[in-house]
Amino acid sequence: MLIAEMLLLTALNDKGNVPVGSGALIQVGLTGALLADLAIDGRLAVAEDGTVRAGDTRPGDELLADAWDAVREHLQGRNVRQVIGGLSHHIGGSWNRVVDRLTDTGVLGRDRPSLLRPTRHPVLDTAARQAVLDQIRAAAAGEGPVSSQVAVLLALIGPCRLLERVAPDPGTRGEAKRRIDRVTAETPVAPGVAKIVDELIVAITVTATTVPPFFVFLAAGRDVLVQRIERLTELPGEPGVTLQVMQPSRDNSR
pLDDT, residue 244, reads 31
Round to whole Å and give the CA distance between 198 and 253: 5
Q: Tell me the mean pLDDT in the region 91-113.
A: 92
Q: What percent of the chain has pLDDT over 90?
A: 54
- What residue type is 100 in one-letter code? D
The DSSP H or E segment spanning 140 is helix 126-140
Dump pLDDT digits (tens) for 67-76.
Answer: 999 999 999 9
CA nearest neighbour of 63 among 110, 24, 121, 102? 102
Residues making up the chain, counted from first to last:
254
Q: Is the pLDDT of residue 90 over 60?
A: yes
Q: Is the pLDDT of residue 183 over 70?
A: yes
Query: Model pTM greater than 0.85?
Result: no
If pLDDT is split at 50, 70 and 90, which confidence band does 212 have?
low
Dump pLDDT digits (tens) for 21-77.
Answer: 888 999 999 999 999 999 999 999 999 899 999 999 999 999 999 999 999 999 999
Q: Is the pLDDT of residue 19 over 70?
A: yes
If pLDDT is split at 50, 70 and 90, which confidence band does 112 have?
confident
